[in-house]
Copies of this chain bind each other. A is one copy, B any other.
Amino acid sequence: MKKLKMGMIGGGGGSFIGAIHRNAALLDNCIELVCGSFSSDFQNSIETGKKLYLNEERIYKSYDEMISVESKLDLNERMNIVSIVTPNHLHFDPAVKALDNGFPVIIDKPLSFDSDQAKKLVEKVNETNLPFAVTHTYTGYPMVKEAKSLIENGKIGKIRKVAVEYPQGWLTTNLENTDNKQASWRTDPKKSGKAGSMGDIGTHAANMVEYVTGKKIISLFSKLNTVVKGRLLEDDGNVLISMEDGIEGNLMTSQIATGEENDLKIRVWGEEGGIEWKHSTPNTLLLKLNGNPNQILRAGVDNSYLSDFALSHCRTPSGHPEGFIEAFANIYRNFSYAVNNHLNSKDNDEIYDFPTVEEGYRGMKFIDAVIESSIHSKWINI
C-alpha cells in the first residue's frame, strides 16, 4: 500500500462538494492532494490551489492540461487518482480523458449529463479495466452497511415492502435567482440534465434502496412536479416502485419541502422484521423483529454485535458520532484500496465496496424512467 496522489477537477471557490471530497480524501491519511484544475476560471483555480498549499506548477489551466501534463510525469510523482467534482454536464469528458490516459476516476453523482454518456462510460471502464467510483455517499455509512448485511443474512426474511424518501427544503424559494451557485446549476437543464430533484437526490434514494435490499427496481410510476414558479426542472416527485422478487414500495423526493434539511430515510420490511435508517441519526439502525421489542443498533468499533462489514467502516467507539465526511471518507478509503491493488497489478477476488460505474448508469436510467412515466402517466420499466 502506498499513499495515493490525487488530482481534482472542479471544486473551486464557492463549491460545497469539492471541499467535502477533499476532507474525505485526506481524513484517513491514505490520499494526498497534489494537483488540480479547480475552475474554468484560472484565477479562481489558482487561488483555490494556493489555499490548499499546492505547488503552483501543478495548478492547471484546464483538465485537459492537467491530464496531459500529469500523464507525462514520473510514475512516483504523478497523480494516481482523478477526482471529478464538477456540475453534471462536465462529468463525461474529463472522465473519459482520465480513463484514456490510465487514471482511475472517482466522480460525483449523478454519473453524467444523460444516460447515453453513462452507457459510454460503462464501456470505457470495462475497456480500460480501471478503478472507477461514484460518490453515492449515503451507502458509505456504517449502519447502512449493517442494514445491507442483516438483510443479506436473512435477518428480516424475504423482503416485501420498501419506503425511501429524501425531502429537502432548500429550493422552496427561487434561490437560483440569487447568487447561489449550488442552486443555479442544479436548476439549469443545460448543466444538470433533464432532471432536477430526481437527478440530484432521487438517484441517491434509488441507489440506497437497491444497495440495501440487493434487489433492483424493475418498474416505476411517477408524478413529478415543478412547484416553484419559473423553475425549469422538476423540484418534487412521488414515485411508486416495483422491485425484483415482488417487492413494492414508494420513493419520494422534494426540494420544496419547506423546513426539511437532508433527511434521506429508508425502511425495508420483510416477513420476519424490518429495518429503518435515516440520515439525521446516521449512527443508529432500528431493527424490528416480529413479536420482539425494536432494537437500536449503533455504530462503534466496540459494538461486537455488528457485522464485520459494518465494523470495518467505523472509526470510533460507540457514542462518538461519525458523520457525512466519514461516510464520504469510507468511499475514498475503499477506492484507495482498489487503486493500490491496481497499481500493484494484483488481480485477486477481493471486493472493494464502493458505488461503481454500473450503479451510476442505473441512476441515469432511473432518471429516464421517472421522467418518462410522469409525462405519459404510465408504469415504465427501467
A10 within 8 A of B: no
Contacting residues of chain A (148-173) with chain B, CB-CB under 8 angstroms: 156, 160-161, 163, 165, 167-170, 172-173
**A5 CB, min distance to chain B CBs, angstroms:** 11
Q: Which residue of B22, B271, B296, B322 is within 8 Å of A325 (Cβ)?
A: B322
**A153 CB, min distance to chain B CBs, angstroms:** 16
Q: Which residue of B273, B290, B319, B323 is within 8 Å of A263 (Cβ)?
A: B319
Binary contact track A7-20/B, C-beta < 8 Å → 1, others 0:
00000000010011
Contact flag A227-B319 (CB < 8 Å), given A236-B248, A258-B272: no
A334 within 8 A of B: no
Copies held by the complex: 4
Which chain B residue shows the least CB distance to A19? B315
Measured as residues with beta carbon below 8 angstroms from the partner, the interface class of chain A is 35 or more
Binary contact track A115-130/B, C-beta < 8 Å → 1, others 0:
0000000000000000
A27 within 8 A of B: yes
Q: Which residue of B33, B170, B256 is within 8 Å of A161 (Cβ)?
A: B256
- Is there an interface contact between B261 and A269, defined as CB atoms closer than 8 Å? no
Q: Which residue of B172, B269, B279, B316 is within 8 Å of A257 (Cβ)?
A: B269
- Chain B residues with Cβ under 8 A from A165's Cβ? 163
The distance in angstroms between the C-alpha atoms of A117 and B289, with both chains bound, is 40
- Is there an interface contact between A53 and B3, defined as CB atoms closer than 8 Å? yes
The distance in angstroms between the C-alpha atoms of A173 and B290, with both chains bound, is 10
- Is there an interface contact between A223 and B240, defined as CB atoms closer than 8 Å? yes
Can you list 27 A-B pairs with a CB-CB distance of less than 8 A?
A23-B27, A26-B29, A27-B27, A29-B52, A160-B227, A160-B256, A161-B227, A163-B252, A170-B317, A221-B223, A221-B240, A225-B248, A236-B248, A257-B269, A257-B274, A258-B272, A259-B273, A259-B290, A260-B319, A261-B300, A261-B317, A291-B305, A295-B296, A321-B324, A325-B325, A325-B326, A377-B379
Contacts A169-B290, A223-B242 aside, 6 further interface pairs with beta carbons under 8 A come to A257-B267, A262-B318, A263-B319, A292-B295, A325-B326, A377-B379
